[in-house]
Chain A
């Protein structure tokens, strides 16, 4: 389950065949590589090109400005505001998402009435896309007709503005976590289920408390999948767009204007292709750092697994 991709050694079977293994492999991989080169390479290249050009939004005329767009982004308050919000959002999503995922996984490890139902039902939010989650949660959060406002009304409380400037990022993060956590639950549950029950019983006999049992038995087993999930959900949160577009359009004011939304606004609303592309690439750098971190974690985890099994 936790064996990760890159570290799996291929079975080195000495086949005798007219085609070499590399030839055969290439034949199977080539269509994918060609597809991606044909379709993705041009946009990527073009986007890089745009990021070093200044494009007049009205006439469309362009001239080379080198790194000026990047410098402009890095020295603008808006960029750092958006970067800070992105970071805040990523942290909120990660914390809430991991909390929910781990909580549910621990819960589902136990036996209780209706466990199969819960097991099946938690996949539902994950099957939605972020845009749909945004629409669904608008009906939950709205102070005018929302579910939470309705409950508050029945309890005689004042409705709360979940999308006000103080609350907007955590509120968005809750939606993101709601939608993404089931994946983590399944992922963590698989690791939890390989822990023998006897281990917990023994620990109990030894007088270990619940917290201690979690730290000494549960955590070591799920450390790797947990780390992977953290990085995954973080990377995903950093590029979230649909959810923000549907729920707040970056507002109120610029209180939910993350880097992706900022790039969208520069590119589409202001037709500032240079600035928008530069922001996107800076965001990409950020995401890449996270992804590379993920690879490192995944690799070392698989190495450890292999060592343990040999």
Chain B
């Protein structure tokens, strides 16, 4: 490789890194800035006086301001904290239930010689095409009737309607790629269809299933529209609407930044931990 080519390559890599990281780094830096410094007439690209005060105050404690005066806890702290807890609960439930529903179905659609295979698959996948705005009012009416609005359960169910078709699709494509003789060997050993599935196919699909679970979690954690319509203003409110109650009000941008970073951490950490699974799976469905 010529030296010039190497230099260009590394410059491009640096550019790619900056493009990816800079927006995230910037909001992180702002969250570490005192409002006083942020409000100064010039924009500081690095905080001169970095601080964790915005985070401390979100967690319900007082903290010293830039000049040492004590600032009370952030008014939105309780909303943000309960939002994070609700989001975690909802996302975990959605992840578990999505897998329970989607994995067997995907397996059947991919590997069982059954009738209505394609019709079933297409019907399931087609429900994903609906833009959420189209169904929010009807959903809301339905939820009011069933007493599901303002509950975590309601949100879990709404999220399942998004994650399950997605995972079925991903799973179908993955299971379809497994070697054809897999179950036959199990059956020869005397396993039933179900045992062949649980004992042979599932272990062989660990990585794909990890990726599916991660995607279910992220989809639920990141979902905004349903969470806003169903659960805003209730104790079951998840993080996204809680953040938007801060964002759209008379609020302090440095504090909004710190709350945003808190909400971004779980998906960022999970995506980093599991990225090698994610990238090996056929992501056609996302």
Contact = CB atoms under 8 A, between A and B. Distances in A.
In the complex, A touching B, CB below 8 Å? yes
Interface of A: 1-6, 8, 10-13, 15, 17, 19, 21-22, 24-29, 31-33, 35-36, 39-40, 42-47, 50, 100, 103-104, 107, 110, 112-115, 117-132, 135-137, 139-140, 145-147, 149-151, 153-154, 178, 182-183, 186-187, 189-190, 228, 232, 235, 239, 241-242, 246, 260, 263-264, 267-268, 273, 276-277, 280-281, 283-284, 287-288, 291, 298
Given A150-B43, A242-B225, A10 B111 contact: yes
B96 interface: no
B212 interface: no
A123 B275 contact: yes
A107 B173 contact: no
Contacts of A242: 224-225
A147 B137 contact: no
Nearest to B41: A153
Contacts of B177: 3, 8
B256 interface: yes
A29 B184 contact: no
Given A24-B108, A28-B105, A121-B21, 13 more contacts: A11-B182, A17-B192, A29-B108, A36-B165, A47-B134, A112-B10, A115-B13, A132-B260, A145-B38, A145-B253, A246-B244, A246-B247, A280-B133
A224 B36 CA distance: 53
Main secondary structure of the interface of B (DSSP, over half): helix
A196 B28 CA distance: 41
B285 to A, nearest CB: 8
Nearest to B6: A112
B222 to A, nearest CB: 3
A209 B122 CA distance: 44
Contact of A39 (B137, B161, B223, B268): B161
Nearest to B21: A121
A124 B9 contact: no
A293 B83 CA distance: 39
Interface string B237-257: 000100110010000010011
B117 A280 contact: no
Contact of B173 (A8, A13, A24, A182): A8
B160 A3 contact: no
A107 B5 CA distance: 12
Contacts of A25: 108-109, 112-114, 117
Contact of B284 (A8, A136, A228, A281): A228
In the A-B complex, the 10 residue pairs with the closest CB atoms: A129-B222, A8-B176, A25-B114, A280-B134, A127-B271, A150-B43, A46-B138, A28-B108, A43-B138, A11-B180
A238 B225 CA distance: 16
Contact of B26 (A114, A127, A147, A190): A147
A149 B260 CA distance: 21
Nearest to B107: A28
A154 B218 CA distance: 37
Nearest to A23: B114
B85 interface: no
